Amino acid sequence: MNQIEEIRKLKKEKNAVILAHYYVDGEVQAIADYVGDSYYLSKLATTLKEQVIIFCGVSFMGESAKILNPEKIVVMADEHADCPMAHMVDIETIEKIREENPDACVVCYVNSSAEIKAHSDVCVTSSNAVRIVKALPARKIFFIPDNNLGRYVSTQVPEKDFIFHDGFCHVHKSIEKANVLAAKEAHPDALILTHPECTEDVLEISDFIGSTSEIIDYATKSSQNTFIICTEMGIFYELGQKNPDKKFYSVGHRQFCPNMKRITLNKVLSALQTLTPEMTLSEELAAKASLPLNRMLELAK
Ligand code: 13P
Ligand code: SF4
């Protein structure tokens, strides 16, 4: 039996379902039951009937799945796959800003650890941040941790006052305007599709800004045939699957998230065989972190 057949067999035997983010390798996306952006994956996790979730993504995504489904077994395909941005703000900073700005609402990008979520008022993802910030009753927003996403949201919600943090995604930050312009010169008809974690100067020259699934939807529905993609390269797999006749160009070799790329078919197989490493969180932490996540799901409806 080959590796893929064994994964399929074990999935049935263990009543397991495989969830993957668009940034993992194409061969892992291909064996997953569900592939999506962080909002889709957290929403979906609450509707699954299987008892075991094998999570192919970084820690904060597996944590969200566990927080929203405390009764399920969530197994990380790789327990060391972690997003550096998830640890870029600390609790002392949040408490200090709260003290100085008692009217501020702490809006936490979902790319954050469970501890940070537990100290926040509401979570957002890149696909719902604008909608949720608009819907919040508070006028003052402390947006953590991603500076680029926070600033992008503030341009879309000019009626609110923002305090920003200085977190960033090293993958998106390394996508430089000069490289995007060079790609545009090589492919003048191409539309530039960009994730909001990119820097402001890249966002300014983009034709469309959105989450991973929004970028895929936009390219799929577009009558144009050529696109320059400013986000992690794992997205090229689904873009190609949905649009075999369209052309997608990267802007260089640095669109690579080393943590997402830790996940391999071998590790998925091992996770199914051993049901380890399991994602565990204390009941108290999970209960606190579930409040801003559930508020997000409620507001995003
Ligand atoms: P999405 O919410 O668009 O899936 O993005 C997650 C992420 O980690 C971006 O770097
Ligand atoms: Fe984190 Fe950036 Fe990787 Fe997304 S691409 S998981 S934000 S390091």
| Ligand 1 atom, smallest distance to 210 CA | 3
Task: Give residue 58 CA to ligand 2 midpoint distance, Å.
Answer: 8
pLDDT tens, 229-288?
A: 999 999 999 999 999 999 999 998 789 999 999 999 999 999 999 999 999 999 999 999
Task: Give residue 29 CA to ligand 2 midpoint distance, Å.
Answer: 17
Give the number of other CB atoms < 10 A from CB of residue 15.
Answer: 11
DSSP string, 136-156: -S-SEEEEESBHHHHHHHHHH
Nearest ligand, CA of residue 110?
1
Nearest ligand, CA of residue 296?
1
Tell me: pLDDT of 227 over 80: yes
CATH of 3-83+260-280, one of 3.40.50.300, 3.40.950.10, 3.40.190.10, 3.40.50.10800: 3.40.50.10800
pLDDT tens, 146-181?
A: 999 999 999 999 999 999 999 999 999 999 999 999
The residue behind tokens 């577009």 is: 222
| Ligand 2 atom, smallest distance to 83 CA | 1
- CA distances from residue 253 to 26, 105, 167, 172, 195 in whole angstroms, order as listed: 17, 38, 23, 12, 17
| Ligand 1 atom, smallest distance to 21 CA | 4
pLDDT tens, 189-210?
A: 999 999 999 999 999 999 999 9
End-to-end, the C-alpha distance of the chain in Å comes to: 43
Q: Would you say the CB of residue 233 lies under 6 angstroms from ligand 2?
A: no
Model confidence at 1, in pLDDT bands (50, 70, 90)?
Answer: confident
Tell me: pLDDT of 145 over 90: yes
Q: Which residue type sits at 281? A: L
Dihedral sign for Cα atoms in the order 132, 134, 137, 140: positive
% residues pLDDT > 90 (the chain): 96
Phi, psi of 252 (to 5 degrees): 135, -175
Task: Give residue 277 CA to ligand 1 midpoint distance, Å.
Answer: 23
Where do the CATH 3.40.50.10800 domains begin and end in the chain?
3-83+260-280, 85-169+286-299, 175-249
- Rounded to whole angstroms, how far apart are CA atoms 101 and 94? 10
Superfamily classification of domain 85-169+286-299: NadA-like (3.40.50.10800)
- Rounded to whole angstroms, how far apart are CA atoms 214 and 37? 9
Asked if residues 133 and 300 have their Cβ atoms less than 8 Å apart, the reply is: no
- Rounded to whole angstroms, how far apart are CA atoms 147 and 237? 28
Average pLDDT value for the chain: 97
Task: Give residue 105 CA to ligand 1 midpoint distance, Å.
Answer: 22
- Rounded to whole angstroms, how far apart are CA atoms 11 and 205? 44
pLDDT tens, 73-100?
A: 999 999 999 999 999 999 999 999 999 9
Ligand 2 pocket test, pick from 125, 169, 175 with the greatest ligand atom count within 8 Å of Cβ, gives: 169
Q: What is the pLDDT of residue 42?
A: 85
Task: Give residue 100 CA to ligand 1 midpoint distance, Å.
Answer: 31
Region of 130 (left: φ > 0; alpha: ψ -120 to 50; beta: rest) is alpha
- Over residues 29-54, the mean pLDDT reads 93
Model confidence at 126, in pLDDT bands (50, 70, 90)?
Answer: very high
Model confidence at 46, in pLDDT bands (50, 70, 90)?
Answer: confident
- Over residues 96-118, the mean pLDDT reads 98
The residue behind tokens 């508020």 is: 295
Q: Tell whether domain 175-249 is in CATH 3.40.1190.20.
A: no
Q: What is the pLDDT of residue 68?
A: 92
